[in-house]
């Protein structure tokens, strides 16, 4: 596992480079990932607009700011993502804003389809759901915790819809986007911070 993580980190991107990579592919009419289609490119274009907006508007709560300012240990936050993923577009700007508030966190992003062996270690109900955040001890590369692919309330919203209607259709996806809009990133911040607090207790 340690070699797998080491190789992934060596081939990872910063948040700025990830955004640049996705944008450059879109100029060629492509999305990230092994599969290429008009739909995936369209999703990537929508996500580009969404992330541009969130980069400007996301606010980190005072409680989370205080927690991040007081971190004692050093971490690598390694995120598996793809440009076409709607959840990743909603969550990566939040994760990035959090890491910008602490010198003790280094955010690195890898593409899921280019890191299949790593993705297979962190499946969700047997699926390669993203984004997936791995919280690593920066010194030992030990995986201290993982989170994703979406906050608990958002996950339950989709599960309840699927239980009722049998599928996840465009209505479900619209409902999910509305949930993200109303939540303003607070659930994501609180859930990740709760995991980081546990990591701190493990390491300090």
- What digits encode the pLDDT tens for the residues 17-53? 999 999 999 999 999 999 999 999 999 999 999 999 9
Instruction: Report pLDDT for 203.
Output: 86
Tokens coding 126: 């047997």
**Residues with pLDDT less than 70, the chain:** none
Domain ranges of the chain: 2-203
CA separation for the pair 157, 37 (Å, rounded): 28
Instruction: Report pLDDT for 91.
Output: 98
Question: Domain 2-203: what homologous superfamily?
Answer: Glutaredoxin (3.40.30.10)
Q: How many CB atoms lie within 10 A of CB 167?
A: 9
Q: Is the dihedral of CA 67, 93, 111, 14 positive or negative?
A: negative
The DSSP string of the chain is -HHHHHHHHHT-B-HHHHHHHHHHHHHTT--SSS---HHHHHHHHHHHHHHHHHHHH----HHHHHHHHT--S-EEEEEEE-TT-HHHHHHHHHHHHHHHT-TTEEEEEEEGGG-HHHHTTS-BTTB--S-EEEEEETTT--EEEEE-SS-HHHHHHHHHHHHHHSS--HHHHHHHHHHHHHHTTHHHHHHHHHHHHHHHHHH-
- pTM (two decimals): 0.96
Tokens coding 80: 């598996």
């Amino acid at each position: 596992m340690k070699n797998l993580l080491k190789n992934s980190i060596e081939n990872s991107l910063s948040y700025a480079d990830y955004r640049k990579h996705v944008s450059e592919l879109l100029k060629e009419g492509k999305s990230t990932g092994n599969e290429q289609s008009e739909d995936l490119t369209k999703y990537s274009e929508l996500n580009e607009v969404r992330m541009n907006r969130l980069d400007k508007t996301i606010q980190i709560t005072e409680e989370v700011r205080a927690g991040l300012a007081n971190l004692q240990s050093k971490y690598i936050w390694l995120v598996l993502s793809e440009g076409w993923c709607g959840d990743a577009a909603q969550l990566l700007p939040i994760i990035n804003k959090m890491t910008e508030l602490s010198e003790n966190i280094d955010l690195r992003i890898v593409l899921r389809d280019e890191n299949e062996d790593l993705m297979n270690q962190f499946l969700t109900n047997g699926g390669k759901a993203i984004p997936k955040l791995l919280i690593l001890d920066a010194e030992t590369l030990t995986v201290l915790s993982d989170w994703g692919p979406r906050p608990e309330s958002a996950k339950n919203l989709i599960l309840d819809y699927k239980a009722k209607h049998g599928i996840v259709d465009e209505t479900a996806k619209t409902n999910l986007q509305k949930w993200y809009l109303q939540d303003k990133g607070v659930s994501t911040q609180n859930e990740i911070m709760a995991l980081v607090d546990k990591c701190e207790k493990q390491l300090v």
